[in-house]
């Protein structure tokens, strides 16, 4: 594949990644403003057109009135208030569908022009399938809040959130691979250890995403709004109050928030340690730059997390913290890739 084509495809994938990031942030606002159950139907094609007149708005509002959320929580809501929550959910859905088009149409064009070889085509087709699964998972999540309890399942919400990060990871990693000249083979034990550490750091970042999904799903951020202790204790005594014991990891606010905090503490120690290791090792200059940025991204994310907790999850901070997670993961991916790429010069 020609270098020019590789760069064009990588740029397109990075644009799609930025759109996934935007959708994630809008999704965070949608969740925090309790807007996610305002549209009670999944119409991938027809649903791209919002209500256009008073009659259509009233019909849409009447459908919402049949939901548990309206009947149990928002029974005093007027039409104008409903429009406010409708638009957040609507923009979140439209952004998701727009990503599908922005991904599919250039993909078909690159295929038609024979700019993509078979291995890359299969990877890109897989990403597109993941995008379709994400749309279905989003509706599967919404359906869980339209039956009896006016809250979506924390399991489905976490799956929906995690799948967004998987799509982002796949797009970014393929783009980095296209921009790199070639993969670097391990030439010494020290570099191999750095690569393995970077891999485990990426897994820890994904653990934080999953645990954060459960924090959001059961609204655990509304409890234990103190730091560094949780209402005066490092480990809250009610951490295993539910039976059977394993339900605490998904349904207990104390346990779910503690697990998320524990991951943050691990990152707070591991990232600076990893940064020092990279500084003292002969690594590509790009890896050194990525390590510097990783420390900054983690500092920002931890600062956002603490602020969000202490202020009991205001909408702006909550959405920023969710977006910060994707930024942090992006830097982790960049660092991992730089540790595997051959360049002309190495820092010593």
Each domain of the chain, given as residue ranges in start order, spans: 1-179, 186-348
Structural tokens at position 143: 């359906």
Tens-digit pLDDT profile for residues 126-136? 999 999 999 99
Closest CA to 308 of 293, 294, 292, 325: 325
- What is the structure's pLDDT at 347? 43
Distance CA(147)–CA(180), nearest Å, equals 49
Distance CA(234)–CA(216), nearest Å, equals 21
DSSP character string of 304-328: HHHHHHHTT--HHHHHHHHHHHHHH
- What is the structure's pLDDT at 187? 61
Percent helix / strand / coil, the chain, rounded to 5: 75, 0, 25
pLDDT tens string, the chain, 348 residues long: the values are 677 889 999 999 999 999 999 999 999 999 999 999 999 998 877 678 999 999 999 999 999 999 999 999 999 999 999 999 999 999 999 999 999 999 999 999 999 998 899 999 999 999 999 999 999 999 999 999 998 888 999 999 999 999 999 999 999 999 999 998 665 555 678 888 999 999 999 999 999 999 999 999 999 999 999 999 999 999 999 999 999 999 999 999 999 999 999 999 999 999 999 999 999 988 888 999 999 999 999 999 999 999 999 999 999 999 999 999 999 999 999 999 999 875 444 443
Maximum separation of any 2 CA atoms in the chain, in Å: 70
pTM confidence score: 0.93
């Amino acid at each position: 594949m020609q270098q020019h084509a590789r760069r064009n495809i990588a740029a397109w994938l990075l644009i799609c990644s930025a759109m996934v990031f935007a959708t994630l942030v809008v999704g965070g606002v949608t969740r925090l403003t309790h807007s996610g159950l305002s549209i009670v139907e999944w119409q991938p094609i027809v649903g791209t057109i919002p209500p256009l007149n008073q009659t259509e708005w009233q019909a849409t509002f009447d459908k919402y009135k049949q939901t548990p959320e309206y009947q149990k929580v928002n029974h005093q809501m007027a039409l104008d208030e409903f429009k406010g929550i409708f638009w957040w959910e609507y923009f979140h859905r439209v952004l998701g569908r727009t990503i599908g088009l922005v991904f599919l149409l250039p993909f078909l064009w690159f295929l038609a022009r024979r700019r993509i070889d078979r291995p890359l085509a299969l990877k890109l087709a897989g990403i597109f399938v993941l995008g379709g699964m994400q749309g279905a998972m989003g509706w599967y999540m919404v359906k869980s809040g339209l039956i009896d309890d006016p809250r979506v399942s924390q399991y489905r919400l976490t799956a929906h959130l995690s799948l967004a990060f998987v799509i982002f990871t796949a797009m970014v990693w393929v783009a980095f691979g296209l921009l790199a000249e070639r993969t670097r083979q391990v030439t010494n034990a020290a570099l191999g250890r750095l690569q393995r550490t970077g891999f485990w750091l990426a897994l820890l970042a994904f653990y934080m995403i999953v645990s954060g999904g459960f924090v959001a799903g059961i609204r655990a951020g509304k409890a234990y709004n103190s730091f560094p202790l949780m209402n005066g204790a490092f480990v809250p005594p009610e951490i295993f109050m539910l039976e059977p014991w394993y339900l605490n990891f998904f349904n207990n606010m104390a346990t779910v928030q503690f697990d998320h905090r524990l991951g943050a503490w691990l990152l707070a120690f591991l990232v600076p340690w990893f940064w020092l290791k990279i500084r003292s090792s002969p690594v590509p200059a790009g890896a050194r730059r990525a390590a510097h940025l990783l420390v900054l991204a983690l500092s920002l994310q931890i600062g956002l997390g603490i602020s969000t907790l202490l202020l009991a999850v205001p909408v702006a901070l909550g959405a920023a913290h969710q977006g910060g997670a994707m930024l942090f993961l992006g830097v982790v991916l960049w660092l991992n890739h730089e540790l595997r790429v051959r360049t002309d010069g190495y820092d010593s």
